[in-house]
Amino acid sequence: MIKEKLEYLIKKFYLKYLISVALTITSIYFWITFADSNFLDIVGVIINISGLIIWWVAKLTLAENWNMGFGKPKINQLVTHGLYSKIRHPMYWGVNLTLIGLILLYPEFWFFIISLLIIIYFFSRMRVEDTYLSDKLGKEYRDYKEKTWI
């Protein structure tokens, strides 16, 4: 019941973009505030921007097949076009790259720990979704896994 109400609110107020927009704005803030011309900062910005691009493209490609990433996964159809034709979980990889880039820009211990916990969560979420999709779609998903990179 609570999950249905939360999903209703998310759809009603377009909150499914809130986290993406917030992380994009946070990234821009970090670029402006912390980026210098040193090598690590430049690498951090490049990784961060790459992650954001991958994340946004994957999110827009998934469209209605995307849920908020909590609870049990759900699927309307297997998406195998765009980034999903090459990478199995581009949205999660995009988030992880975005955070890795931010860690390089803002190498504070507390920020590293929080980001690491989020990255670990997304790796575990990838495994949960792989298991769910293998069970639900069987051979179709196993064939898809063989054609894609992680």
39-62 and 90-105 helices, crossing angle to 10°: 160
For residue range 13-57, what is the model confidence (pLDDT) as tens digits?
555 677 778 888 999 988 888 778 889 999 999 999 999 999 999
Give the side-chain half-sphere CA count within 13 A for 129. 23
- What does the alpha-carbon distance between residue 56 and residue 90 come to, in Å, rounded to a whole number? 9
pTM for this predicted structure? 0.80
Could you list the pLDDT tens digit for every one of the 150 residues in the chain?
666 766 665 555 555 677 778 888 999 988 888 778 889 999 999 999 999 999 999 988 886 666 655 556 667 788 899 999 999 999 999 999 999 999 999 999 999 999 999 999 999 999 998 998 899 899 999 999 999 987
Nearest Cα to Cα of residue 24 among 83, 87, 99, 103: 99
Q: Do 67 and 143 touch, CB atoms closer than 8 A?
A: no
